Amino acid sequence: MNDVKKDEKSLTEVVYHKIKQMMLDYEIIPGQRLIFSDLAKKMGVSRTPVNNALSILANEGFLDFVPNQGYTVHQITKQEAESLYEMREILEVGAIPKIIQKITPENIAKLEEQRRLFENAVADNLTRERFILDQEFHVAILEITGNKYLPGYFREIYQRIFLRHRVEGLRSGRAKSVIGEHQDLLEAIKRRDGDKAEKLVSAHIAAGKEYVLTSLFKDSA
């Protein structure tokens, strides 16, 4: 009996991660209604692990559940976006002193690589890949602290923003500014200039917040 429950839990986790990856790959988009049978068939599993995985994603705020209608991918609200950007600033700015203290040449090399990957992706169209690469640049910065929880919390905050809005609703042009902002932040970290790095991180997050809010909620008061 215990083995059966373990197998069900394991399969639920597999389905959960597959659905999350579909969201990352933009195969599932905000506002889309999810059909149990379609997902189960696509993944080659029964409806039970799909239902369990969808329930978890709903509890995490990535999906909305309406009785007798089922699940749809949650679309971020303006209030949610503002709160998440506030959390992001508290986390990233607060980590700068420890980052400056612990930075190494190996860390710098990894940041340079992540910065280049994002810059190369900007030449392409606006896609989810660009957001993932931006996420990983910031993750690489937070990893320098040596705190194993910070990168995970950051990813959670970041994904609660970009997995819950449609990329086609965004204005073009922001990515090129981000390239420069990443470069300036990297230079400040390399110089161990904590005050400058904190200001740059704060300004970078504020610019991203304005970009998302004005793109997605331009008709809001």
Summarize the confidence of residues 137-159 as an average pLDDT. Answer: 96
Q: What is the mean pLDDT of residues 114-140?
A: 85
Specify whether 96 is located in the same domain as 204.
yes
Number of domains, the chain: 2
Taking Cα atoms as reference points, which of 20, 211, 186 lies closest to residue 96?
186
pLDDT of residue 127: 66
Supply the pTM of this predicted model: 0.85
Residue 163 has pLDDT above 70, yes or no: yes
What is the pLDDT averaged over residues 110-131?
A: 83
Q: How far is CA 187 from CA 28, 76, 144, 175, in A?
A: 37, 33, 15, 19
Ranges 17-21, 102-106, 153-157, 162-166: which has the least confidence: 162-166
Domain boundary among 73, 96, 123: 73
221 pLDDT band (50/70/90 cuts)?
A: very low
- Look at residue 209 in the predicted model and tell me its pLDDT: 94
Residues in a beta bridge with 64: 72
CATH of the domain at 90: 1.20.120.530
pLDDT cut 70: percent of the chain above it: 91
Verify that 82 and 163 share a domain, yes or no. yes
Same domain, 169 and 99: yes
Q: Indicate the average pLDDT of the chain.
A: 90
- For residue 179, being part of any structural domain is answered with yes
Could you tell me the pLDDT band of residue 68, with boundaries at 50, 70 and 90? confident
Other CB atoms within a 10 A radius of the CB of residue 128 amount to 16
CA distance 128 to 103: 29
CATH number at 34 reads: 1.10.10.10
Please determine, for residue 39, whether its predicted confidence score (pLDDT) is greater than 90. Answer: yes
